[in-house]
């Protein structure tokens, strides 16, 4: 039943007091739960009643008995913690899904095992289908040796292979792939790359940096069915970790077409906000699409812009040079040259009512985007735009106030903090590191946070993100008390950012993000109480059950094991 119909029927029955008792019964009641609603009006509850895809009541067990009917399904949550479903504000959903099905070579410790896994994956793929991914690391082998095509040619007669080293700086291609790319003994090394050769000068299949591009550039884009398969894998993954909404950054239009097809077939099990690149902004302007256009399942109306690169690749744009590269302060992204061209694009998109989400990592990149936003506000006037800065990693001290003044949302990925925290200080120094992933400072300035992962770059599992935000314990174990511990969040603040915060960031805070009557019944039941467990155990918590719009889309009891990413 639609929510408005339901409301109408409640109103109808209740204007005649005698009929009030015959209000509709709930389809589902979850009882005996420890519910953290993320609704300040009623933060804690025991039970929730669902009718259709909406929550109709939240309260104590007995209070909800009035919603029981002969058809009502009742679930006893046995005292487990129930939260609103997680909303990941920044994912690369198709790449994430595709990677789940790629050959996994990272843990391999011998050439034999390497060949065995490649053979196994080749047997699963269609004839002629490219095999990519892998993340092999020959330093784990004894003795370490860079693999050659001879190792995998016998098991891949029909599949071109281009599997990557874990650092992304080398690939191993098989003979089929070399042939497709036209690489022979006569091919010279390209500028910035090396074709590794044997003693007779023949390519071994190992290709470094720019030489790898000779092969990578000829790999065809995924076709419709490959795309659909990747999305279906990603949907399963999301359900298994309690993610019920994702905000897909820079999707291809073909990805949106798959979402639309799945929605039509009733198979979309995660709510999607698709945010295409700003280079294509005129497409949405032409048809008059405005921010958050669509239905609760699938929406468009936002644009993703890049202001700079990343800290890891030393391309994030800073005011001052990097400590470990004194000649380098990073650089602005292509479309930022000149900045006025980006300003123009963004102003046109804003005039059309589209939402802006700008990737900005270095302090100068963030400042430049704030300049643009502030210029647009001056020209177009104040409005509820919910501008976003994606990552917002390294803040200039003076920019927190500007960030807050423009009501810009910081769409951040706490897992990056415990990952980069291993080496970031050596690159940018202590002063800048103190304003890095500065979640507490953002909150103190009244900046709204939205949490996400950047999956595939980091794991999709929200428990790892919560763990990161609450502990700031770097992955190398060197900061058990937290890297810049003054920036830690409480678990309640972290959950808020991951539910209401992310919903706000996509103009959906009135329909989801908390367990509140009238909102969509998107919820997750957890194996342990994330609010009271020791912080270092948060990362071990699992989703037991996930519901979206009142439908159970994941049940750990009936699911087979799922991979980490
Ligand atoms: Zn990203």
Q: How far apart are CA 35 and CA 516, in angstroms?
A: 11
State the distance from the centre of ligand 1 to the C-alpha of 8, rounded, in angstroms. 43
- Kind and range of the H or E element at 243? strand 243-249
pLDDT score recorded for residue 19: 47
Q: Read off the pLDDT of each residue in 285-289 and give the average, rounded to a whole number.
A: 95
pLDDT score recorded for residue 3: 55
Burial of 84 (0-12, 13-18, 19+ CB in 10 A): buried
Is residue 563 predicted with pLDDT exceeding 50? no
Q: Which of 360, 494, 355 is nearest to 414 (CA)?
A: 494
State the distance from the centre of ligand 1 to the C-alpha of 121, rounded, in angstroms. 28
State the distance from the centre of ligand 1 to the C-alpha of 245, rounded, in angstroms. 16
pLDDT tens digits along 17-44: 444 556 799 999 999 999 999 999 999 9
State the distance from the centre of ligand 1 to the C-alpha of 12, rounded, in angstroms. 48
Is residue 5 predicted with pLDDT exceeding 70? no
18-22, 450-454, 484-488: the lowest-pLDDT one: 18-22
pLDDT score recorded for residue 16: 46
Long-range contacts of 401-405 (CB under 8 A, 24+ apart): 401/445, 402/370, 402/374, 403/366, 403/370, 403/442, 403/445, 403/447, 404/445, 404/446, 404/447
68-77, 138-147, 397-406: the lowest-pLDDT one: 138-147
State the distance from the centre of ligand 1 to the C-alpha of 123, rounded, in angstroms. 32
Mean pLDDT estimate for the chain: 94
pLDDT score recorded for residue 489: 98
Is residue 519 predicted with pLDDT exceeding 70? yes
Is residue 2 predicted with pLDDT exceeding 60? no
pLDDT tens digits along 324-338: 999 999 999 989 999
- What are the residues facing 332 on neighbouring strands? 308
Question: Residues whose CB is under 5 A from ligand 1 (ion)?
Answer: 454
Is residue 86 predicted with pLDDT exceeding 80? yes
State the distance from the centre of ligand 1 to the C-alpha of 352, rounded, in angstroms. 25
pLDDT tens digits along 537-561: 999 999 999 999 999 999 999 875 4
Q: Is the dihedral of CA 478, 480, 481, 484 positive or negative?
A: positive
**Residue labelled with tokens 């799922």:** 562
pLDDT tens digits along 457-476: 899 999 999 999 999 999 99
State the distance from the centre of ligand 1 to the C-alpha of 433, rounded, in angstroms. 21
Q: How far apart are CA 350 and CA 285, in angstroms?
A: 10
Is residue 481 predicted with pLDDT exceeding 60? yes
Q: Is 507 helix (H, G, I), strand (E, B) or coil?
A: coil
- The verdict on pTM exceeding 0.85 is yes
Q: Is 371 helix (H, G, I), strand (E, B) or coil?
A: helix
Q: Read off the pLDDT of each residue in 5-14 and give the average, rounded to a whole number.
A: 53
Is residue 1 predicted with pLDDT exceeding 50? no
Percent of the chain with pLDDT over 90: 89
CB of 303 closer than 8 Å to CB of 356:
yes
């Amino acid at each position: 039943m639609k929510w408005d119909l339901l409301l109408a029927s409640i109103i109808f029955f209740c204007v005649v007091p005698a009929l009030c008792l015959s209000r509709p019964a709930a389809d589902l009641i979850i009882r005996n739960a420890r519910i953290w609603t993320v609704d300040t009006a009623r933060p804690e509850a025991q039970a929730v009643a669902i009718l259709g895809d909406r929550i109709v009541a939240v309260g104590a067990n007995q209070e909800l008995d009035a919603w029981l009917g002969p058809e009502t399904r009742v679930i006893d949550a046995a005292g487990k913690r129930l939260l609103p479903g997680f909303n990941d504000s920044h994912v690369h959903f198709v790449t994430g899904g595709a990677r789940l099905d790629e050959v996994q070579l990272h843990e391999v410790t011998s050439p034999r095992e390497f060949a065995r896994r490649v053979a196994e994956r080749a047997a699963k793929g269609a004839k002629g289908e490219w095999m990519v991914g892998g993340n092999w690391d020959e330093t784990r082998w004894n003795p370490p040796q860079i693999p050659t095509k001879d190792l995998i040619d016998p098991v891949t007669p029909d599949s071109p292979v281009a599997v990557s080293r874990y650092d992304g700086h080398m690939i191993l291609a098989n003979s089929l792939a070399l042939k497709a790319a036209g690489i022979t003994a006569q091919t010279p090394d390209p500028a910035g790359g090396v074709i590794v050769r044997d003693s007779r000068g023949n390519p071994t299949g190992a290709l470094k940096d720019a030489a790898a591009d000779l092969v990578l550039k000829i790999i065809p884009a995924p076709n419709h069915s490959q795309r659909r398969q990747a999305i279906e894998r990603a949907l399963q993954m999301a359900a298994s970790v309690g993610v019920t909404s994702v905000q897909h950054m820079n999707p291809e239009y073909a990805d949106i077409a798959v979402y639309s097809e799945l929605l039509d077939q009733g198979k979309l099990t995660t709510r999607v906000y698709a945010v295409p690149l700003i280079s294509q902004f005129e497409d949405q302007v032409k048809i008059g699409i405005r921010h958050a256009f669509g239905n609760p399942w699938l929406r468009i109306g936002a644009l993703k812009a890049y202001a700079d690169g990343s800290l890891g690749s030393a391309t994030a744009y800073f005011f001052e040079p990097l400590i470990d590269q004194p000649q380098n302060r990073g650089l602005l992204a292509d479309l930022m040259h000149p900045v006025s061209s980006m300003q123009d694009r963004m102003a046109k998109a804003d005039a059309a009512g589209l939402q802006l989400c700008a990737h900005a990592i270095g302090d100068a990149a963030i400042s430049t985007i704030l300049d643009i936003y502030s210029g647009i506000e001056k020209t177009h006037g104040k409005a509820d735009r919910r501008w976003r800065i994606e990552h917002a990693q390294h803040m200039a001290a003076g920019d927190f106030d500007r960030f807050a003044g423009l009501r810009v949302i910081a769409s951040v990925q706490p897992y990056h903090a415990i990952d980069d925290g291993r080496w970031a200080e050596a690159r940018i120094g202590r002063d800048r590191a103190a304003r890095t992933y500065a979640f507490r400072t953002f909150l103190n300035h009244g900046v709204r946070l939205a949490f996400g992962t950047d999956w595939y770059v980091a794991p999709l599992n929200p428990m790892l993100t919560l763990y990161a935000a609450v502990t700031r314990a770097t992955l190398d174990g060197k900061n058990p008390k937290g890297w810049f511990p003054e920036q830690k969040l409480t678990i309640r603040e972290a959950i808020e950012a991951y539910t209401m915060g992310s919903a706000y960031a996509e103009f959906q805070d009135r329909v989801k993000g908390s367990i509140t009557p009238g909102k969509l019944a998107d919820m997750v039941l957890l194996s342990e109480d994330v609010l009271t467990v020791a912080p270092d155990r948060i990362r071990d918590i699992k989703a037991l059950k996930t519901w979206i719009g009142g439908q159970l889309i994941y049940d750990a009891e009936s699911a087979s094991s799922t991979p980490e990413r």
